């Protein structure tokens, strides 16, 4: 390896370490971190440690550090450990980001990371007790090392990509399809970069790929925090205001009638009081799934948001009120069906009111009040019917 290239490789990894350090500093500076953010920190730190280890390895290959069996062993155990940590933590991050309930329990996150921990243990055992099996007499890595090194990271990469793609194309996830596809593409991109770097060792593509994709993921994560409701993964109230303002700006060009639907859960307080707030959160998530599924099955283009508490809003563009009525009935039926399929011990139903408006902000505010009034009429009619 040419000396100039060795230093270029080192410089590239140092730049990437600085980029990750900036992401880490920004993330650590935000208070009240949740499980997903803590996993993001773990991913960031694992990347940085891997880059440090990779710097030492390229210095050994370049002859700057003497290629002793001990040096080669320590660096390559570290490489295996940190790459397994990166891919393992990434899988956990994807599962948390995409709302998988099982992964919210800390013990389940530990179970998921067991393959990565086992690979590290196997590597340490091999290098300590069977050193010639992984490093030959010329102090070169053997095929056995690669055989142990690659399967676990590949397993996490493939599993996270496949699960993300499957979720992306579920009807109820159409609104967040882009975010899911990014989660699927990230590990694939860095894997391709790593393979190209290994085969065609002329540029540190792996660290560049990691830095670019991780920065992109971080930007999307920030956007999610600003625009999405953390619990339901629907648009939040801030995003609703932006959407209404954006539609008002298009009003003169489009001249399309819009309808605003207000959805409110029936007896939600009873669910919280009798079954606990955790079950209440599940009911809200189930409602969000019902709204997304019903809207995906409908021909109307819709914008869905959590307005606050157990209230939700849908905005749709149409001149056909019959389609809006049909959507209301579909939402109610879908909510009951999903709740039954979940085996909930309580009834989960919704009341819905709607009103039309012309696209400007003033008429939206009027329509919102009218939809709210219609909602309570629907709720009163339900009570009267028993």
* Residue 370: alpha-carbon gap to chain centroid: 36
Output the pLDDT for position 45. 94
Domain boundaries, the chain: 3-227, 237-384
* Residue 98: alpha-carbon gap to chain centroid: 5
Of the options 3.30.70.270, 3.40.50.740, 3.40.190.10, 3.30.300.30, the CATH number for the domain spanning 237-384:
3.30.70.270
Across the chain, where does the E strand assignment appear? Answer: 258-265, 302-308, 311-317, 350-357
- Fold agreement (3-227, 237-384): no
Edge-to-edge strands, sheet with 350-357: 302-308, 311-317, 258-265, 350-357
Report CA-CA distances (Å) from 152 to 42, 159, 368: 18, 11, 52
Output the pLDDT for position 222. 74
Report CA-CA distances (Å) from 352 to 53, 103, 382: 58, 33, 11
Q: Give the chain's end-to-end CA distance (angstroms, integer).
A: 81
Residues in the chain: 386
Q: Which two tokens stand for residue 51?
A: 């880059």
| Torsion angle defined by CA atoms of residues 197, 200, 201 and 203, in that order, rounded to the nearest 10 degrees | -60
User: pLDDT 10s per residue in the chain (386 long)?
Assistant: 466 778 888 999 999 999 999 988 877 766 545 777 888 899 999 999 999 999 999 899 888 999 899 999 999 999 999 999 999 999 999 998 887 878 888 899 999 999 999 999 999 999 999 999 999 888 888 999 988 988 999 899 899 999 999 988 876 676 667 778 888 888 788 778 777 776 666 678 888 888 888 888 888 777 776 788 888 888 898 888 888 888 887 765 567 789 999 999 999 999 999 999 889 999 999 999 999 989 887 778 889 999 989 999 999 988 889 999 999 999 999 999 999 999 999 999 999 999 999 888 888 999 999 999 999 999 888 887 76
Strand 311-317, strand 258-265: pairing: antiparallel
Q: What does 292-361 look like in DSSP terms, one character per residue?
A: HHHHHTSSS-EEEEEEETTEEEEEEE-S-HHHHHHHHHHHHHHHHHHHHHTT-SS---EEEEEEEE-SSH
CB within 8 A of 141, min separation 6: which ones?
Answer: 72, 76, 134, 135
Burial 252-288 (b: 16+ CB within 10 A, else e): eeeeeebbbbbbbbbebeebbeeeeeeebebbbbbbb
Model pTM? 0.72
Output the pLDDT for position 253. 59
Q: Which of 260, 257, 228, 229 is nearest to 328 (CA)?
A: 260
CB within 8 A of 133, min separation 6: which ones?
Answer: 126, 142, 144
Q: Which two tokens stand for residue 265?
A: 């859960």
**CATH superfamily ID and name for 3-227:** Rhodopsin 7-helix transmembrane proteins (1.20.1070.10)
Q: What is the 3-state secondary structure (H, E, C) of 28-56?
A: HCCCCCCHHHHHHHHHHHHHHHHHHHHHH
Q: Tell me if 152 sits within 8 A of 84, measured CB to CB.
A: yes
CB within 8 A of 110, min separation 6: which ones?
Answer: none
Return d(Cα 326, Cα 319) in angstroms, integer: 13
Return d(Cα 339, Cα 332) in angstroms, integer: 11
SS3 200: coil
């Amino acid at each position: 390896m040419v000396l100039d290239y060795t230093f270029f490789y080192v410089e590239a990894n140092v730049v990437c370490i600085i980029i990750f350090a900036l992401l880490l500093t920004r993330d650590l500076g935000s208070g009240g971190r949740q499980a997903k953010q803590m996993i993001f920190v773990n991913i960031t730190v694992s990347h940085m440690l891997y880059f440090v280890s990779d710097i030492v390895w390229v210095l050994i290959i370049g002859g700057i550090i003497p290629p002793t069996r001990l040096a080669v062993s320590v660096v390559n155990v570290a490489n295996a450990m940190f790459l397994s940590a990166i891919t393992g933590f990434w899988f956990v991050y994807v599962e948390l980001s995409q709302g998988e309930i099982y992964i919210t329990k800390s013990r389940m996150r530990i179970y998921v990371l067991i393959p990565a921990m086992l690979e590290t243990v196997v590597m340490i055992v091999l290098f300590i007790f069977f050193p010639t099996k992984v490093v030959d007499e010329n102090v070169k890595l053997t095929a056995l090392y690669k055989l142990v090194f690659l399967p676990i990271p590949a397993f996490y990469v493939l599993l996270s990509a496949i699960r993300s793609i499957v979720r992306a194309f579920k009807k109820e996830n159409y609104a967040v399809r882009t975010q899911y596809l990014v989660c699927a593409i990230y590990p694939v991109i860095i894997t391709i970069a790593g393979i190209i770097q290994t085969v065609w060792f002329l540029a540190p593509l792996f660290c560049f790929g990691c830095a670019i994709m991780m920065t992109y993921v971080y930007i999307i994560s920030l956007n999610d925090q600003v625009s999405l409701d953390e619990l339901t993964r629907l648009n939040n109230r801030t995003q609703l205001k932006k959407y209404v303002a954006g539609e008002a700006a298009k009003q003169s060009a489009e001249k399309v009638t819009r309808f605003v639907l207000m959805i409110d859960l029936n007896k939600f307080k009873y669910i919280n009081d009798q079954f606990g707030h955790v079950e209440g959160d599940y009911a809200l998530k189930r409602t969000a799934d019902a709204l997304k599924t019903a809207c995906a099955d409908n021909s109307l283009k819709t914008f869905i948001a959590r307005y606050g508490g157990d209230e939700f809003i849908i905005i749709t563009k149409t001149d056909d009120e019959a389609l809006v009525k049909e959507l209301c009935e579909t939402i109610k039926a879908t909510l009951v069906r999903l709740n039954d399929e979940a085996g909930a011990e309580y009834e989960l139903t919704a009341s819905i009111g709607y009103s039309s408006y012309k696209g400007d902000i003033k008429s939206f505010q009027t329509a919102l009040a009218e939809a709210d009034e219609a909602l309570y009429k629907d709720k009163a009619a339900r009570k009267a019917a028993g």
